[in-house]
Amino acid sequence: MRILSSIRTIAAWEMKRSVTMMGRHVLPLAVGLLVLLVLVTSFAAQSGIHMQDGMYRIGIDDPGVARVVAPDSRFTITIADAHTLREDRSAYDIIILRGEVYAADTDKGRAALKSLERDYEVYVSHIAAGEPDLFAAYPLWIDLEYVKSEIDFVATEGGQQVGTVVDARDPPVPSGPVEAVPLPSSAISVSEDDLRERLAETGSDHPLSRYTGILSGSSSVYTLKTPSQLSPPLPFDSIILVFIFIFPLYFTSQFFMMSIMNERVGRAGEALLSAPVRSSAIIVGKVLPYFALMLFISAAITLIIGAPVGILIPLIPVILFFLASALIIGMAARSFKELSFISIFFSTLATAYLFFPTVFANTHVISIVSPLTLVVLKLQGDGFTAAEYLYSTALFFATSLILFYAGIVNYREERLFSTKNLISRFADFISGGIMRDHPHASLFGLALLSIPFVFMVQMMALVLFFNIPMPLSLVLLVVVAAFIEEFAKSLGLYAIARERPGFLTLQNLLIAASVIGLGFLIGEKLLLFATLAQISESIFGSALFLSLGVLWMPLLLHIAGVLITGGFLLFGGRRAYVPGIVVASVVHSLYNLYFITGAPL
Amino acid sequence: MNARRIGLVAKKEIFGLSAEKTIIFAILLQVFIAMFSSFLMVGLTTMYDPEALEGYSTVTYGIGYAGADSPLVDLFRKRDDLVLHRMDLDQALATLRERKIAAVIFVPDTLPDAEGPVTVTLYLIKNDLQSSIINVKLKEVLQDYERELREVRADRMASFPVYLNFPKVGGAENFFEFVYGLLIPLLVFLPAIISSALVIDLITEEYQRKTLETLVSTPVTFTEVIWGKITACAVLVPVQAGAWLLLLGANGIAVRGAVAIILHASVGGLFLILLGALVALHYRERTSAQFIFSTALVVVFLFVMAVPYNPLNLMVRLAVDTVGPIHWLILLVVAGVTALLGWLVTVYAQRVGEAGAA
């Protein structure tokens, strides 16, 4: 009860402080800037975005043809007679002579040709949409149906062509049971007016229409398309979600980061620390207003774009993750510039982690690694299952909780106001989690808790590597995964060796290695069991999570890894730490490679 | 103002940056993103350009065909990368589910010159890499069929579009436009944004840590301190922008007019840095200053992007070599505006400095 009331006091105090500070100086200018923003936005909407103006040069011999290209500002148009155009052939990326298109044989020429083809399609559909007889202009319609096939991840990894071997010219025969399917009717179920409207929509050439399309989810409503409307899922579309949802969230988390930093500048937070409140109450109280604000912002954005409210659910772990990281960064940075750089670095990592998997939304199961994919799915009207939710957000929840825990444990005077450099501060944070009396139990816990982070980094690596050609991607993944694991396992040991050099005896090292190995294995099993079944079935999964098959082998491997690093630490001192990790990673990789390349398991 | 003393302050700030290893973070950041730019190139081209990887180019896809006869059969026969199998629809769908074929197409018995449309049903595997490729290939075939049908029904049309005949270069997605039209200008301008945020940190930190008095008690004046910090940040812009262009080059993306691009980035960057310095001098507190500055940044960027021949557009044009000498004129204009802002910062700093001394 008391902790609740102190949380409330601190939350109210935090709100009051930021409101007064903002109110006095910032608000008038912010309002002014907002008005300016509205003005500039309408100006930009009128004038258009002039980023890619004049990228290509095109030469045309007929002003009638030039009308096709005219709306596209990417082209600089030159109208001249055929002879002159042919003379300066090399000055143009494309020339059009009597209806024949010639493109330069360069990447640029091909890109220009692609853009021209799209412009031409827009132009043709513009003309055709005005036809009185719609089905003369658009005689062919395609009803797109998707069939679910269960072997998703395993089948497509590394771009392998599983199942499409068509050497034989005989038609393939299904081996499983055949379900009877009703033949699709040839009648069109949509009214002609609807079709016309849809055509007019595609014809509008606003560069942002593609992006607003995903937000309103309009593309999924119509399965009936003309051939030119057929398009593979475009990979960059979901970046709009990063701008719309993630950027404001990241921005707001900065205020929290700064609030933590401000406590430390000039020891301003000393009064609060000496007050009779627990550090958990301070942090929860400070974080609550920002959490509420971020949730409110997301809800407002959702309402504005008219999206289903369900997309807020996958955003919650993202908010928590941002706030937890903001807490740690705010506690660790020594100066403002360090704060800026770490937070920019972090935000790039986080954005990449969130964004890149969504590139493959609808294309590949790997995309579920990011909660943003769930947002994409929800916006498309597909929705997501509880299992998918757990799968894509478990790591975010787990890492946020652990980071908050680390922040609370370390929210103490000697940590907040120390001026050590970044690496020793992080080491301090880690040793803050190690209890003096039960170092082995703490090491066990630390290894257990490091698992979500290890998985996150490994997922990142998986996203990065999975479509590099096959053998290379697997080797890279094995080596990187081994390194990450060895690094994570050695952290606790390193922190102890730094703080208490006397602790590292041969006996203690043996015990420590065993408990770390055990903790790591248990953590791995627990998390895998809960979430990652889909990935662990594939060959990439076996590279990352090899430890599933037999229990004692990976346990020995994990212990051996820690022993190697620990041995280097013991005999070579802290300077031998890095070589120790490298050697341990090499051993770990060799073990993994041995088993992947067909060991008798 | 004394240039030597400004240089001293600038040097001190840059040393401070490298001592705190923040520079290392900045470099890590660049390398990290550069990793992704190669990821974008390799990964996405692989996905959308079937010819990009050796493995893909030899693959032939099986397509199940069900329903009535149509000219589509002949159109498919013309292609060597698609093999048509005549099957029953339920058989075909079961085969598709087992991934023994890549797509199924069902054609109704509508006559080519019928009143209504020909509605073809296309079945693809959901959530699949291969479906994207098949999609591109089938689109070409279907567009050919649409053209044939249009010719059959031509007498019912009222107006005709200008006819253009395009050369065949394959239906591959091309990333030239993305890389040159978006990635390069954004990457090159990123250092400018980072530097302008940095100058706010450097200035507000002196206020919030109350270290300013010590600094001003030395022979260095307040204005010189500010300009020293501005110089330190401004120097970083061309260095980082150059590093980007080198990294892109290492990724096989050749950028023309690199020197001119870096010049544009430096001048534009200096403008943003001065803007940041002005905001920081006004607020003297990081949270407010960064908040106002980032909002202002959005306004400035949106405005600049809406103006034809803006510096970002010039970078694109320079990178693809389609710009005339006009960009020097624009550089001059931007430099003029920047100089004006610089004068404003100097006057403001002098006023603040005098108020502090009094």
Assess whether pLDDT exceeds 90 at residue A316. yes
**In terms of C-beta density within 10 A (0-12 exposed, 13-18 middle, 19 or more buried), how is residue A476 classed?**
middle
- As separate numbers, helices (DSSP H) first and strands (DSSP E) second, chain A gives 27, 6
Most confident of A18-32, A36-50, A219-233, B9-23: A36-50
For A207, residues 6+ apart whose C-beta sits below 8 A from its C-beta are A48, A49
Residue B74: how many other CB atoms lie within 10 Å: 13
Contact list in B for residue A114 (CB cut-off 8 A) is 173-174, 177
Structural contact between residues B319 and B234, judged by C-beta atoms closer than 8 angstroms: no
Query: For position A208, what pLDDT does the model report?
Result: 46
Question: What distance in Å separates the CA atoms of residue A362 and residue A360, rounded to the nearest whole number?
Answer: 6
* Residue A402 scores a pLDDT above 60: yes
Complex-level ipTM: 0.78
pLDDT above 90: percentage of residues in chain B: 19
Query: What confidence score (pLDDT) does residue B325 get?
Result: 86
Q: Report the alpha-carbon angle B183-B184-B189, nearest 5.
A: 105
B32/A96 Cβ within 8 A: no
Give the contacts of A1 (CB within 8 A, at least 6 positions apart).
Answer: none
- Cross-chain residue pair B142–A339, CB shorter than 8 Å: no
Q: What is the side-by-side order of every strand in the sheet holding A94-97? A: A75-79, A56-60, A94-97, A100-103
pLDDT value of position A542: 55
Exposed e or buried b per residue across B338-358, where buried means at least 16 C-beta atoms within 10 angstroms of its C-beta = beebbeebeebbeebbeeeee
What pLDDT is stored for residue A566 in this prediction? 85
Q: What percent of chain B has pLDDT over 70?
A: 83
Q: Is the torsion defined by CA of A299, A302, A308, A311 positive or negative?
A: negative
pLDDT of residue A165: 47
Joined tokens for residue A256: 């929290």
Least confidently predicted of A429-438, A489-498, A541-550: A541-550
Does residue B50 have a pLDDT over 50? no
Please give the full DSSP string across A375-443, using - where no structure is assigned. Answer: HHHHHHT----HHHHHHHHHHHHHHHHHHHHHHHHH-SHHHHT----HHHHHHHHHHHTS-SS-HHHHH
- pLDDT at position B51: 37
pLDDT for the residue numbered B280: 92
Nearest to A181 among B55, B89, B124 (CB): B89
A159, A366 Cβ separation under 8 angstroms: no
Q: Is A318 helix (H, G, I), strand (E, B) or coil?
A: helix
Query: According to the model, what pLDDT value does residue B57 have?
Result: 39
CB within 8 Å: B122 and A142 = yes
CB contact under 8 A, A468 and B42: yes
* C-alpha to C-alpha distance for A315 and A246, rounded to whole angstroms: 9
Query: At what angle are helices A470-499 and A552-572 packed, to 10 degrees?
Result: 50
**pLDDT band for position A309 (50/70/90)?**
confident
Kind plus residue range of the DSSP H or E element containing A507? helix A506-530
Q: Pick the range with the lowest mean pLDDT from A370-374, A488-492, B43-47, B316-320.
A: B43-47
Selection from A137-151, A441-455, B45-59, B317-331 with the highest mean pLDDT: B317-331
Q: What are B107's two structure tokens?
A: 């054609």
Say whether pLDDT at A291 is over 90.
Answer: yes
The pLDDT score that the predictor gives to residue A318 is 92
B216 inside 8 A of chain A by CB: no
Here the tokens at position A141 are 């319609």
Mean of all residue pLDDT scores within chain B: 81
The chain-wide mean pLDDT, for chain A, equals 77
Per the model's pLDDT, the better-predicted residue between B86 and A552 turns out to be B86
* Of A200 and B196, more confident: B196
Question: How confident is the model at residue A220, as a pLDDT?
Answer: 42
| Chain B residue numbers touching A100 (CB-CB < 8 A) | 165
pLDDT over 60 (residue A151)? no
Q: What is the mean pLDDT of residues A169-193?
A: 72
CB contact under 8 A, A335 and B323: no
* Partner-chain contact B99 A144, CB within 8 Å: no
Determine which of A284-288, A475-479, B340-344 has the lowest per-residue pLDDT on average: A475-479
pLDDT band for position A378 (50/70/90)? confident
Quote the pTM value: 0.76
**Alpha-carbon gap, residue A143 to B76, rounded angstroms:** 19
The answer to whether residue A193 scores a pLDDT higher than 70 is yes
Q: pLDDT grade, residue A149 (50/70/90)?
A: low
- With pLDDT > 70 as the criterion, what percentage of chain A qualifies? 79
Q: Rounded to whole angstroms, how far apart are CA atoms B29 and B19?
A: 18
Domains along chain B? 3-44+176-357 (no CATH), 59-156 (3.40.190.10)
How much is the pLDDT for A88?
84
pLDDT at position B56 is: 40
- Higher-scoring residue by pLDDT: B43, B351: B351
List the 4-33 stretch of A: residues with Cβ below 8 A of B. 21-22, 25-26, 29-30, 33
The answer on pLDDT for B278 being more than 70 is yes
Tell me how far apart the alpha carbons of residues A372 and A392 are, in angstroms, rounded to a whole number.
9
Q: Which one of B41, B54, B98 makes the best mutation probe of the A interface by having the most chain A beta carbons within 10 Å?
A: B98
Over residues A582-598, the pLDDT tens digits come to 999 998 888 877 776 65
Contact A120 B46 (CB under 8 A): no
pLDDT computed for residue B47 by the predictor? 43
Which H, E and C letters describe B55-118, residue by residue?
Answer: HHHCCCEEEEEEECCCCHHHHHHCCCCEEEEECCHHHHHHHHHCCCCCEEEEECCCCCCCCCCE
> Which residue of A108, A342, A464 is in closest CB contact with B320?
A108
Of B25, B285, B302, the CB nearest to A341: B25
Q: State the average pLDDT over residues B277-304.
A: 90
Q: Which of A340-344, B51-55, B173-177, B248-252 has the highest mean pLDDT?
A: A340-344
Over range B102-117, report the average pLDDT: 84
Residues B291-348 pLDDT 10s:
899 889 999 999 998 888 889 999 999 988 888 888 999 999 999 999 999 999 999 9
Residue A243: per-residue pLDDT = 73
User: CA–CA separation, A121 vs A138, rounded Å?
Assistant: 13
End-to-end CA distance of chain B: 19
pLDDT tops 50 at residue B259 = yes
pLDDT at B170: 55
Cβ contact, residue pair A227, B36, below 8 Å: no
Q: What is the pLDDT of residue B345?
A: 94
User: How many CB atoms within 10 Å of residue A549?
Assistant: 12
Q: Are B273 and A230 in contact (CB under 8 A)?
A: no
Q: What is the pLDDT of residue B53?
A: 36
Strands (E), A222-353: 224-225
Smallest CA–CA distance from B67 into chain A, residue: A183
Query: Three-class SS string for A156-191?
Result: HHHHCCCCCCCCCCCCCCCCCCCCCCCCCCCCCCCC
Check: CB of residue A378 under 8 Å from CB of residue A298. Answer: no
Residues in chain B: 358
Is pLDDT at A169 greater than 70 in this prediction? no
**Closest-CA distance of chain A to residue B218, Å:** 22
Residue reference for tokens 């023994």 = B100
Average pLDDT over residues B113-135: 76
Inform me whether the pLDDT recorded for B129 exceeds 70.
Answer: no
Closest chain A residue by Cα to residue B127 = A363
pLDDT of A599 over the 50 cut = no
Chain B nearest-CA distance from A460, in A, is 11
- Distance from C-alpha of A588 to C-alpha of A594, rounded to nearest angstrom: 10
Higher pLDDT, A503 or B11: B11
Residues A501-528 have a mean pLDDT of 82
The separation between CA B210 and the C-alpha centre of its own chain, rounded to angstroms, equals 41
| Pairing mode of beta strands A75-79, B61-67 | unpaired
- Max mean pLDDT range (B94-103, B173-182, B265-274, B323-332): B265-274
Written as one letter, the residue type at A579 is: P
Q: Angle A7-A11-A16 (CA atoms, 0-180°, nearest 5)?
A: 150
Domain boundaries, chain A: 56-132, 234-419, 434-601
The span from the CA of A339 to the CA of A331, in Å, is 9
Indicate the pLDDT class of residue A499, thresholds 50, 70 and 90.
confident
Residue bearing the bigger pLDDT, A462 or A90: A90
Tokens of A542: 């076996």
Class of residue B59 by CB neighbours under 10 A (exposed 0-12, middle 13-18, buried 19+): middle
Task: Please give the backbone phi and psi of residue A60, each rounded to the nearest 5 degrees, phi first.
Answer: -130, 140
CB A301 within 8 A of CB A244: yes
CB contact under 8 A, B145 and A231: no
Residue A326 pLDDT > 90 = yes
